[in-house]
Chain A
Amino acid sequence: MANLVSFDHATLGYGRRVILSDLTFTIPEGDFLGMVGPNGAGKTTILRAILRTLIPLSGSVTHAPGIRFGYVPQRDQVDYNFPLNVIDVVMMGRYDRIGLGRRPGAVDRKLACASLDHVGILDLADQPLSALSGGQKQRTLIARALVGQPNVLVLDEPTNGMDLVSTTQILGLVRELHERDQLTVLMVSHALNEVANYVERIALVVNGGFRIGTVDEIMSESVLSEMYRIPVDVDNINGHRVVVARRDGQTLPAPNA
């Protein structure tokens, strides 16, 4: 599988402030990667470098020629006060293809409808975005990301603030898109337990550290205890892996302390 994104000793940050240093990893074609870590750990910084909106301070981040990202932002990043219908929002995913100063046409509308159908909400095409539930809004944003025919689907905290049912449905949909369409998927989340049971690889961003590997490699008590600096248990319930911090666990010293 060809690498779509390659980090080579990349140091990321803003101005003189370094957030993460010496990152070396790749995202191969067909990958289903979950990037997990607490808020403020640097997930968004890595995401920006992947999406080419942040240039590394040193090292390099290279992208496969012609790569297209389908980006699904956090739901609260979108302003639902705008009087837009679902179809209007989905067509935005084609704006860069339509060109400057030109309006979406019949082809764009047709593709937007196909994309809505793909995520199971074609019947909501002419509904106001503001009238939708959290899960429906998320599907709309996924449809918008897909309508641009991306190589990589990137989702930023797709289940944030959702209940159990919506979370399960959205994660199920994302896995379906990966399996059915062989779409490369990068999913960013702070919820390790949610992501670990859907993705194939995990990138852990915690306490300034970065570790990437298969789910089996990362979901081990030793790795997670070292990264989170707190003793954890990894249990298996009906085939689902669940990470639990030990109730009497003391914070562990940093690995290099």
Chain B
Amino acid sequence: MLDAVLLFREALYGALVIGLACSVLGVYVVLRRIVFVGAALAELSSAGIALALWLAGRGWMLGIATHPIALALILTIAGVLFFGAGGSRGRIPPDATIGVTYAVAAAIGIILISKAKTGEAHDIFLQGNILGITRGDTLVLLAVAVPVLLIHAVFYKEFLFISFDRETARTLGYRINFWNLLLYLTLGLVIAFAMQFAGVMLVFNFLVLPAVTGLLLSRSMAGTFFWSILSALVAAVIGFSLSVPFDLPSGPAIIAVSGVLALLAFLVRLAQRR
């Protein structure tokens, strides 16, 4: 079993980097109730990848099409600017706008990938191909995750304040739009890069389940971050270690372990209340 895991250790390292970055950002995603913004951004990113593959298959715009991350980033950043600026104007509720973005981006992604000539299967597109992560990919993920996490470590106080009580932060001179946009931008960057390897489902899982586990186990922000990160890393290691020898799809295996950890956290919370 260990040999099999070691064979794919680069993939495990990649999953750990994705889990680490997403589990930190996920605390804000869950607390700010923008879980489905995360999902919509992930779908926009996947639609960008699909567009790149479709263009490549047709021999069009090969400069950009051979770098799917470029189109994934463009679409994700467009989503970041839209949602970061409020997401909705007028009579359409914000959650409806998120739902429309999610559904349309997912549909366009699937349509484009079905017409792409690269032969990518839809389920790979949804689940990602985490086993295919190379050392180079992990380094790219690190190059994105480390600056994002540094930004979050340095400006923790600012992100916390504008997330918790934006009106009061505004009266103290905080530029809410700037900090909001920076938060969404870091989220979009991590999602766009993670999506390439982990797929929509696993990225969404890492954004939500570890943070929920953290919130169930802790009553402080520091504790929530700690448990969120730990549960993401533990889920990645156990899920990955089980998936390789038992020939299970890695992404869903990691998600299943995340679910079990969240359930355990819920039971611990219940026991504490009694």
Enumerate chain A interface residues (CB-CB to B < 8 A).
Answer: 51-53, 69, 71, 73, 77-79, 81-85, 88-89, 92-93, 95-96, 98, 100-104, 128, 144, 148, 154
Contacts and interface: CB of A to CB of B under 8 A. Distances in A.
Contacts, number: 72
14 contacts: A53-B170, A71-B167, A79-B31, A79-B164, A79-B165, A81-B31, A85-B219, A85-B220, A88-B221, A92-B161, A92-B165, A95-B157, A96-B173, A101-B154
Nearest to B223: A83
| Chain B residues touching A, majority SS | helix
B171 A83 contact: no
Contacts of B168: 71, 73, 92, 144
Per CB-CB distance, the 8 closest pairs between chain A and chain B, nearest first, are: A96-B172, A71-B171, A101-B154, A51-B171, A78-B165, A83-B219, A73-B167, A82-B164
Interface string B154-191: 11111011011101111111100000000000000000
B97 interface: no
B221 A82 contact: yes
Interface of B: 31, 154-158, 160-161, 163-165, 167-174, 215, 218-221, 223-224
B172 A83 contact: no
Q: Which of B154, B168, B218 has the most CB of A within 10 A?
A: B168
Nearest to B167: A73
B130 to A, nearest CB: 31
Q: Which of B154, B167, B173, B219 has the most CB of A within 10 A?
A: B167
Nearest to B171: A71
A126 B160 CA distance: 18
B161 A77 contact: no
A101 B31 contact: no
Q: Which of B154, B155, B163, B171 has the most CB of A within 10 A?
A: B171
A85 B69 CA distance: 41
Contact of A83 (B154, B165, B167, B215): B215
Given A78-B165, A79-B31, A83-B223, A95 B170 contact: no
B15 to A, nearest CB: 27
A119 B166 CA distance: 23
A142 to B, nearest CB: 12
B218 A103 contact: no
Contacts of B156: 103
A53 B172 CA distance: 10
Contacts of B158: 95, 100-101
Contact of B172 (A79, A85, A102, A148): A148
Given A84-B221, A104-B157, 10 more contacts: A52-B171, A71-B167, A71-B171, A73-B165, A83-B219, A95-B169, A96-B173, A100-B155, A148-B172, A154-B171
